[in-house]
Chain A
Amino acid sequence: MTPETLLEVRNLTKHFPLKSPGWGKPAPLLRAVEDVSFSINKGDTFGLVGESGSGKSTVARLILRAYELTSGTVNFRRADGSVTDISRLDDRALRPIRAEMQMIFQDPYSSLNPRMTLRDLIGEPMLVHGHRKAEIDDRVAELLGLVGLRPEFAGRYPHAFSGGQRQRIGIARALALNPSFIAADEAVSALDVSVAAQNINLLQDLQERFGITYLFITHDLGMVEHISNKLAVMYLGRIVEMGDTATLLSRPRHPYTEALLRAVPQPDPRGRAARRRPPLAGEVPSAVTPPSGCAFHPRCPYATPDCARVLPELRLLGGVQVRCHRAEDLALEGVHG
């Protein structure tokens, strides 16, 4: 790990065993995450994009140890500069580290306990970490101010707030213990556009002020282009392309990245006829019985017989890492700036 690296994930894999089909038969495995490696530098926003079932949320939950890893390592740089592999630590050893890594969830309605006041919700992480009551009250007021809510709201319950405000309550709660790393899982996806914009600006302000590093998980390519400087695209549990956001989106090297970019409806009606391409056919295959070779080959317009046989390695090409046999010979279409 270089000194700038905050988080380094190596060969992260998660297989969920499903119900066994009958006596003596082995339980099938859902291969949610397969051999995912990346690192995030301090102060960066690392975007992770993919469609449902790509494994992007599972990656965040594995990093935060909400799920046990099947294999792999997660190295995290602590506030004191030391590096710890947190993938095998037990709950007790994890507790101080958890203060430094937090998560923001998509659904602001189900991620806050409706029976707790904002003071209790936002103060809970501090209580767990042994802070004193007076200290907590002051900090809750400060946090509410930071996320643009009035400190007088501390005694209210979540139902009194709109979706965008609840999301801010979740952000305040995540900030309570001064984390250096926050994983935001579809943090603005459920919000109306004008409210999403307010919350995205808030996350960027907080990053500037406190130097927080984000793992930003989303299916929204416009949003990820706006907020992240590094980007990884996932398909069926694997990273298919990774690199600097602007480089990757302007000159994609993987056919799936190209297909995703083409699928995004653009707020530009004049260009619509010219932009129109036949949409990517088919659906994301099952992660229980993934296709052989490159998992994207059944849907890929550029696939050759080789693609069904051999799994491509992630390799460096033109400044990005790409997992495609044909990356050199394809001239794929990116976004035009």
Chain B
Amino acid sequence: MPPIPMANDMTNFPPERLLDLRDLAVTFATAEGPVRAVQGVSYHVNRGEVLGVVGESGSGKSVTVRAIMRLLARNATDTGTIRFAPDGEPLTLSGQPRDSKLMRSLRGNRIGMIFQEPMTALSPVHSIGTQIARTVLLHRGGSKSAARDRAAELLARVQLPNPGEMLDRYPHQLSGGMRQRAMIALALACDPALLIADEPTTALDVTTEAQILDLLRGLQKDLGMAIVFITHNFGVVADIADRVAVMYLGQVVETGSVDDIFYAPGHPYTKALLGSIPRLGAAKRHRLQTIQGMVPDPYHIPKGCPFHTRCDHVRPGLCDVTAPPVFSPRPGQEVRCHLTGGAA
């Protein structure tokens, strides 16, 4: 399917916007039936901004970014609009096949991606230097020696010790924290406008996590790139994000500035999640707040509001029947809940 940018879409694409998702839905065909992993997700990222995407396992946060990258599994189908404007005019990514010329020219170039496990991004049989230099050659051209110099420069930029020597190292020769840095260098090889970071610090020890967050913050500031930062850790979101999207069962239930989400959350799910984390230095309460029940299985997503089966404020006849409208308690904050306007 060729990209067909629609005229009315262009009107609501302000110049500061880099990425815009509208009503993205992703369904996987499985032997047990369709799994609706993402249903109607809309969010946007402005240039140079860090969007934190939080949610528990199965909330669809990773599937959403795979749809942006056009790297969904082959049994997936998706609908909705994904637009990305790295250099002026927005490009329509939705509908692009995974191996289209456009996508191949964007991935690793204008969109970089880092993962929880560096070995998903790094090849075990090529040296770090070769992997970065090939990416540079592919997208930027130039000579091999210039590409190698660029690789050394990137390794220095991510603060790996002895970058000249590191070029010839293989991933298995590095520690976990160093591999994470090498993967970041690879993702930044061509100065991406957007970095997608999928739980990049989840598997790391706290002191290493602090180092990587510090590095990403510095790089983001210096290079002016935008980041979509996916995590389940509210501490990490509070540390790095400008705005936050909270996801539950394939939907964004709330978006807002990082301050709104932490100090004036509107959705009962956001409130409950914030209450269930033990905070360092908080007065020691006897019990942690919990959310009743568990996340429903993806084959049987509840009708109406997907959270109504676990919500303390559920209103029978309303929440279990109709999908909640979007309510905006303050500019820039959007809450998908029947009760936010009044009762909750």
Contact = CB atoms under 8 A, between A and B. Distances in A.
Contacts of B57: 163, 192
Interface in A271-297: 272, 278-281, 283-284
A337 B281 contact: yes
On chain B, which size bracket covers the interface? 35 or more
A164 B291 CA distance: 13
Given A194-B273, A225-B284, A262 B210 contact: yes
Interface stretch (B31-39, B60-68, B85-93, B201-209): B201-209
B238 A265 contact: yes
Contacts of B282: 337
B207 A280 contact: yes
Nearest to B206: A263
Interface string B105-123: 0000000000000000000
A52 B232 CA distance: 21
A165 B297 CA distance: 14
B316 to A, nearest CB: 22
A223 interface: yes
A198 B290 contact: yes
Interface in A234-292: 246, 249, 259-270, 272, 278-281, 283-284
Interface stretch (B69-77, B131-139, B189-197, B257-265): B257-265
A280 B210 contact: yes
A197 B232 CA distance: 14
B210 A266 contact: no
Contacts of B56: 192-195
A221 interface: yes
B219 interface: no
B214 A279 contact: yes
Contact of A266 (B232, B238, B258): B238
Contacts of A222: 235, 277-280
Contacts of B326: none
Interface centre among B206, B234, B294 (most CB of A within 10 A): B206
Contacts of A19: none
B211 A266 contact: no
Interface string A186-201: 0000001111111011
A280 B209 CA distance: 10
Interface string B275-305: 0111111111111111100110000000000
Contact of A162 (B272, B286, B288, B294): B294
Contacts of A162: 294-295
A219 interface: yes
A260 B206 contact: yes
A194 B213 CA distance: 24
Contact of A226 (B214, B258, B273, B288): B288
The DSSP consensus for interface residues of chain A is helix
A196 B56 CA distance: 11
Interface in B186-243: 205-211, 213-214, 232-239, 241
A335 interface: yes
B294 A164 contact: yes
Contact of A194 (B205, B258, B272, B286): B272
B30 interface: no
A71 interface: no
B258 A265 contact: no
Contact of A225 (B258, B259, B278, B289): B278
A32 B341 CA distance: 57
Given A193-B56, A204-B287, A223 B278 contact: yes
B175 interface: yes
A267 B207 contact: no
A284 B276 CA distance: 31
Contacts of A107: none
Contacts of B178: 283
The 7 closest A-B pairs by CB, nearest first: A265-B235, A335-B281, A226-B278, A51-B205, A192-B56, A263-B210, A197-B276
Interface of A: 51-52, 162-165, 192-198, 200-201, 204, 219, 221-223, 225-227, 246, 249, 259-270, 272, 278-281, 283-284, 335-337
Given A51-B208, A193-B56, A221-B206, 7 more contacts: A193-B273, A201-B288, A201-B290, A226-B284, A265-B213, A266-B239, A270-B263
Interface of B: 56-57, 175, 177-178, 205-211, 213-214, 232-239, 241, 258-259, 262-263, 272-274, 276-291, 294-295
